[in-house]
Amino acid sequence: MAKQLFIYLGPTAPAEVSWATTSATGKLRLGSSRLDQVPRSPGERLVVLVPGAEVLVTEVALPGGSKRLLRQSLPFLLEEDLAGEVEDLHFASGPGSSAGKAAVAAVDRARMTHWLTMLAEAGLHPTVLTPTTLAVPVSPGRWTLLLTEEGFLARLGDWRVFAGEIANLEHYLRAETSLAVEAEITTEVEVINCTDQDFALGLDWLQLAPPRPGQFLAVLAEGYGTRPYLNLRQGDFAGSARWRETFRRWRLPLIAAAALLLLLGVDASLDHMRLTSEANRLNQEISATFLQAFPGSHRVVKARAQMEQKLKELRGGNQQNLFFALYDKMAPLLAATGNPGLEFLRFNNSRLELDLNLASLEVLEKLKNDLTKAGIAAEIRTAENSGGKVRARLSLEIKK
């Protein structure tokens, strides 16, 4: 058995409402509280009962014998039974019968809006909204009369219901039972008194069973669902209560998860931006280094591939590009000068240019002589004293 929560929106709602819960084992628990303080439990089906006197319930013949056109036809089918303007009413339909009829209900649209707004403000979104008259227990072959602090509820069978003030009970029952006599329907009445008063009903022409006491919402909770019910949440007021209720329970975890995903996304985006910036910087440095090392190149597309190609050319035995042969001869002689302070190196068309910081002019002259002896044509392009050092540019080429 599914767990259910029943809430009655009486005249004191939302300041005080009556509620009843049924457990999976059928155990009933009753209480009253503010609407926003009604206890909830996971997986509960919320059924809200509204005053039966505010909802007209009746049966109509199905248009053309089909329920498909019923919703569009309801305002016209009920127009003679309605006190208000059709445009101001909300219509709902129930199940059809084998006799070609269907249960229908009419209620003021403003009242529907008021009830649903009140519930939403309390964080409640009912699966079912139905009048109290349709939760009155059905007694086979007899009327059931429920006496409450607000008035009475009466029911015969599934859809023959009415409600009102106890002062008008005799009038209602005389009209209904006279019709019942004509239709050869029993005039027996079961009375359930849900008040602390003893009423002198004055219904002597009826077959009244001895009144029995009952608790208002307990009686309705037990009577609900034993017969087909009619849900007023149709059409414009259908909503998606189940999904909203599920979202309400998971709202905080979902918000926390969304916040975490947002933080992770921001962190990942910042990492991506940082890595992209670093990659761009490295690519610029690689391109600058490549152009510096190979000044004959004017465009860098794929620095790595172009660098490998240039090095292959240098190692390929081309007599015009003897970088490594030149370097092998030059390197020991540079090292012999102590700390030559190599600032710049450029190789272009078999010629190597070096910018050096040397200890003195004598060291520069000795280096040039040693290079010449090693078979390298050495030319001093510039030489100047700076801060106790000699800055010089040498142009080297293997002698032909």
CA atoms within 13 A on the CB side of 186: 15
Classify residue 245: in a domain, yes or no: no
Q: Between these two residues, 97 and 150, which has the higher pLDDT value?
A: 150
Classify residue 388: in a domain, yes or no: yes
Classify residue 342: in a domain, yes or no: yes
Q: How confident is the model at residue 11 (pLDDT cuts 50, 70, 90)?
A: very high
Q: Is the pLDDT of residue 199 over 60?
A: yes
Show which of 284, 313, 342 is a domain's final residue. 313
91 and 18 within one domain? yes
Phi, psi of 260, rounded to the nearest 5 degrees: -65, -45
Place of tokens 């040693």: 370
Q: Specify the CATH number for the domain of residue 391.
A: 3.30.1360.100
147 and 13 within one domain? yes
Classify residue 244: in a domain, yes or no: no
16 and 153 within one domain? yes
Classify residue 57: in a domain, yes or no: yes
Q: Between these two residues, 332 and 35, which has the higher pLDDT value?
A: 35
Specify the pairing of strand 45-50 against strand 128-131: parallel
The pLDDT value recorded for residue 39 is: 93
Phi, psi of 98, rounded to the nearest 5 degrees: -70, -15
Q: Specify the CATH number for the domain of residue 202.
A: 3.30.420.380
Which of 28-37, 112-121, 351-360 is least confident? 351-360
The mean pLDDT value for 375-385 works out to: 88
pLDDT tens readout for residues 180-194: 444 445 568 889 999
374 and 257 within one domain? no
345 and 228 within one domain? no
> Amino acid identity, residue 381?
R
Residue range(s) defining the domain that contains residue 287: 251-313
Q: How confident is the model at residue 241 (pLDDT cuts 50, 70, 90)?
A: very low
Peptide bond before residue 63 is cis, with ω within 30 degrees of 0: no
Classify residue 246: in a domain, yes or no: no
Domain count, the chain: 3
143 and 284 within one domain? no
Classify residue 337: in a domain, yes or no: yes
Show which of 313, 331, 348 is a domain's final residue. 313
Give the rounded percent of residues in the chain with a pLDDT score beyond 70: 80
The pLDDT value recorded for residue 167 is: 83
382 and 269 within one domain? no
Give the rounded percent of residues in the chain with a pLDDT score beyond 90: 27
Of 217, 165, 220, 221, residue with least CA distance to 33: 217
214 and 100 within one domain? yes
272 and 216 within one domain? no
Of 69-73, 88-92, 247-251, 256-260, the range with the highest mean pLDDT is 88-92
Show which of 217, 239, 261 is a domain's final residue. 239
The pLDDT value recorded for residue 183 is: 42
Classify residue 377: in a domain, yes or no: yes
Query: How far is Cα 313 from Cα 303, in angstroms, rounded to an integer?
Result: 15
